[in-house]
Amino acid sequence: MAIQWKKYIFTLNEMYEDEEVEKGLPKADLHAYFMQKELCNFDKWYTLHKQVLTLCIDLNKTEDELRKEMNRTTRYQINKAGRDSLSLHFLTEPKLEDIEQFTAFFNPFAREKGIELCRVDKLMSLRKNGRIVISYVCHPDGRKLASHVYILTKRRAIMLYSCSGRFANADIPGLHIGRANRYLHWNDILFFKERNFQYYDFLGLSINKEDKAQQNVNTFKKGFGGFEKIEYQSFVPQNWRGKILVLALRVMWRNQLELIHGNKMPVFKYLANIEEK
Tell me how far CA of residue 269 lies from CA of 70, 97, 163, 207, 229, in angstroms: 26, 46, 31, 10, 14
Residue 96 pLDDT: 96
Instruction: Yes or no: say if 220 and 185 are a contact pair by the CB < 8 Å rule.
Output: no
pLDDT band for position 52 (cuts 50, 70, 90): very high
pLDDT band for position 19 (cuts 50, 70, 90): low
Residue 170 pLDDT: 80
Q: ∠167-170-176 over CA atoms, to 5°?
A: 90
Whether pLDDT at 225 is above 70: yes
Q: What is the DSSP string of 48-69?
A: EEEEEEEEEEETTS-HHHHHHH
pLDDT band for position 216 (cuts 50, 70, 90): very high
Mean pLDDT of 36-65: 93
Whether pLDDT at 269 is above 70: no
Mean pLDDT of 10-14: 96
Whether pLDDT at 262 is above 80: no
Residue 18 pLDDT: 67
* pTM, full prediction: 0.91
Residue 270 pLDDT: 47
Residue 20 pLDDT: 60
pLDDT (tens digit per residue) in 92-115: 999 999 999 999 999 999 999 999
Q: Where are the beta strands (DSSP E) in 99-253?
A: 132-138, 144-152, 156-164, 199-201, 227-237
- List the chain domain ranges: 2-52+229-272, 61-197
Residue 272 pLDDT: 45
Mean pLDDT of 178-183: 96
Among the CATH numbers 1.10.510.10, 1.20.1530.20, 3.30.465.10, 3.40.630.30, which is that of 61-197? 3.40.630.30
Q: Determine the Cα–Cα distance for residues 49 and 52; give it in Å rounded to an integer.
A: 10
Whether pLDDT at 142 is above 80: yes
Mean pLDDT of 2-28: 85
Residues paired with residue 163 on neighbouring β-strands, in sequence order:
147
- Of 260, 253, 157, nearest to 203 by C-alpha is 157
